[in-house]
Amino acid sequence: MNFKKILFVADNFYPEVCASTNRSYANIKAWRDIGHKIEVVTTAPNFPKGKVFEGYKNWFQTTHEIKDIPIHRVLTFIVSNSGFFLRILDFLSFAFFGALRSLFIKSDIIYTSSPQFFVNFIGLFYKLFKRKKWILEIRDLWPESIVAVGKMNEGVVYNILKKLEHFFYRYADEIIVVTKQQKETLVNEGIEKDKIHIFYNGISSFEENKVLNDSLSEFEQYTDKKVLGYLGTIGDAHDLESIIHLIKEIPKYHLLIVGEGAKKKKLESIIKKENIQNVSIHNGVSRDLIPFLIKFVDIGLVHLKNNKTFRGALPSKIFELASLRVPIMCGVQGEAREMINHYKIGSCFELTLESFKRCLDEIFEKEIPEKKFKDFEALFQRKNIAIKIAEQLF
C-alpha cells in the first residue's frame, strides 16, 4: 500500500462525545495503524453545551497530540448546540479559520467529514489552492436535515444552500455516504454515480477504563426497574418528547435518558410539569463509562423523527448497542428498520401506544441469542470499514 499524508477536517472531534467524533476518532486510529500519516484540523472541544472543555482554549491556533496524531484546533465563534443562525456563525467561523490553518499543512489528501455542512468550504479551498484530492464524507444530508427538524423552510435560503451543496459534491473527487438511500438521493439529483461510495457506520471499541469511581452510583436506583435507555445527544431530530408521552402510559417500564443537547431543558420541563414518574434524565457521561452504565439498561432506544430525510439514516447507536449485547428498540424508518429486522437484534415500532407497548413487551419476553449480536458485530467492525476506505480511496 502507498502510504499517504491525510489532512482530516471536522468541526467536532475527540474528546467530545457524539456519534461523529466516535466514528472519526476510530477511523483515524485505524488509518494511522496501517501506516498513513494523519493530521487533524478541528475546533476547541465544546459540544454540546458550547463551553470549552477544561484544559483547552478557544484561540487562533493551538496544536497538541492525541496518541501521536497532531491535532490543530482553531478559533471559532462558540455557541451551544441550539438555535440556528448563531450556530451558522459558529460553522462559518470554523470554515474560515480552518481553511487558513489548513494552508500550512502538507498532505496528499484532504478528508472533510460532516456534520457540519460548511466544513466543506475547507475541502474546496484546499483542493483549489493545493491541487490535492478531496474526499467528502456525508453523514447527514444538508440542508434537508435542517428542514426535517423544523429549523428551516424550503424557501430562498434553502435553495441557496441546496445549490451550494451540489457545488461541493461536484467539486469533490470522492464522496462517502453511509446508506443506500443517501446514494440514491444524490444520484437522482444529478451527482456522478461512480464517485459516490457507501461505507456503513460500524462498531468501534470502547477505551478501557480500569478505574471506575462513584460517578455511576446515581444509576443504581434503576437496578430493579425495567429500563428502556436512551444514551446520546438529546436533539431536535430524536423526537424524545413523543417517546416520553408514550411511555408515561406504561408505568411498569422506565425511560432513562442520559445525554446533553438542545432539547434537554424542554424535556425536563415536560417531566416536571406533567409529574411523569417513570422518566428520568441524567447528564451525559464520557464514552469510556458507557459499558459500565449499560448494565442498568435492559433495552436500548434508537429513534428519529418520522421524516423522509431520516429514513435514509443508520444511527450509530444501533452498532454501539449491538456491540454491548443490548436489545434494540428501533423507531427509525427505512434502512435502520430493515437492518434490525434482518439481523434480528431487536424490534421496531410505530409511534402509537399500541405498537410501542407491543415492542417493549416483545423484547422483554423473548431473549435475543448472543450469536445474533456476534454475527452482526463481525460484519460491521469499524476498523475493517476504515481499512476498506483507505484501500479504495486513498
What pLDDT is recorded for position 311?
79
What pLDDT is recorded for position 208?
53
The verdict on residue 228 lying in a domain is: yes
Residue 205 has pLDDT above 80, yes or no: no
Same domain, 151 and 218: no
Q: In 3D, which of 201, 259, 203 has the Cα closest to residue 231?
A: 259
Which of the two residues, 79 and 124, has the higher pLDDT score? 124
Same domain, 228 and 364: yes
Are 298 and 364 in contact, with CB atoms under 8 Å apart? yes
What pLDDT is recorded for position 231?
93
Binning pLDDT at 50, 70 and 90, where does residue 207 land? low
Same domain, 374 and 230: yes
Binning pLDDT at 50, 70 and 90, where does residue 44 land? very high
Residue numbers of the domain that contains 79: 5-199
Same domain, 190 and 254: no
What percent of the chain is predicted at pLDDT more than 90?
A: 69
Q: In 3D, which of 175, 344, 346, 354 has the Cα closest to residue 250?
A: 354
3-class SS at 280? strand
Q: In 3D, which of 317, 374, 340 has the Cα closest to residue 20?
A: 317
Q: In angstroms, rounded to a whole number, what is the distance separating the alpha carbons of residues 304 and 252?
A: 24
* Averaged pLDDT for residues 245-265: 95
In Å, how far are 245, 255, 278, 296, 361 from 250, measured between CA atoms?
10, 10, 8, 19, 11
**C-alpha angle 76-80-83 in degrees, rounded to nearest 5:** 105
Are 122 and 137 in contact, with CB atoms under 8 Å apart? no
What pLDDT is recorded for position 295?
87
Average pLDDT, rounded, for the chain: 91
User: pLDDT, tens digit, for every residue of 165-201?
Assistant: 999 999 999 999 999 989 999 999 999 999 999 999 8
| Range picked from 32-46, 130-144, 215-229 for highest mean pLDDT | 32-46
Are 59 and 95 in contact, with CB atoms under 8 Å apart? no
**C-alpha angle 300-287-85 in degrees, rounded to nearest 5:** 90
Same domain, 30 and 149: yes
**C-alpha angle 386-390-393 in degrees, rounded to nearest 5:** 125
Residue 203 cell numbers, joined: 462498531
Binning pLDDT at 50, 70 and 90, where does residue 25 land? very high
What pLDDT is recorded for position 131?
95
C-beta neighbour count of 296 within 10 angstroms:
18
Q: In angstroms, rounded to a whole number, what is the distance separating the alpha carbons of residues 257 and 127?
A: 42
* Averaged pLDDT for residues 12-38: 92
Q: In angstroms, rounded to a whole number, what is the distance separating the alpha carbons of residues 42 and 350?
A: 38
Same domain, 266 and 293: yes
User: pLDDT, tens digit, for every residue of 271-321?
Assistant: 999 999 999 999 988 888 888 888 899 999 999 988 887 877 889 999 999
Same domain, 182 and 253: no
The verdict on residue 29 lying in a domain is: yes
What pLDDT is recorded for position 48?
80
Number of domains the chain is built from: 2
What pLDDT is recorded for position 271?
97
* Averaged pLDDT for residues 64-81: 90
What CATH number has the domain bearing residue 22?
Answer: 3.40.50.2000
The verdict on residue 232 lying in a domain is: yes
Residue 265 cell numbers, joined: 431543558
The verdict on residue 388 lying in a domain is: no
Report which residue type is found at 30.
A
Same domain, 73 and 106: yes
What pLDDT is recorded for position 85?
74
Q: In angstroms, rounded to a whole number, what is the distance separating the alpha carbons of residues 226 and 328?
A: 14
The verdict on residue 389 lying in a domain is: no
* Averaged pLDDT for residues 388-394: 95
Q: In angstroms, rounded to a whole number, what is the distance separating the alpha carbons of residues 48 and 199?
A: 26
Residue 40 cell numbers, joined: 487533524
Percent composition of the chain: helix, strand, coil (DSSP 3-state, to 5): 45, 20, 40
* Averaged pLDDT for residues 158-169: 89
What pLDDT is recorded for position 362?
94
Residue 92 has pLDDT above 70, yes or no: yes
The verdict on residue 233 lying in a domain is: yes
Same domain, 276 and 352: yes
Largest Cα–Cα separation, the chain = 61
Which of the two residues, 1 and 385, has the higher pLDDT score? 385
User: pLDDT, tens digit, for every residue of 326-378?
Assistant: 999 999 988 999 999 999 999 999 999 999 999 999 999 988 999 999 999 99
Binning pLDDT at 50, 70 and 90, where does residue 209 land? low
Q: In angstroms, rounded to a whole number, what is the distance separating the alpha carbons of residues 120 and 125?
A: 8
The verdict on residue 206 lying in a domain is: no
Same domain, 248 and 325: yes
Length reported for the chain: 394
Same domain, 285 and 327: yes
- Among the candidates 199, 228, 263, a domain finishes at 199
3-class SS at 190? coil
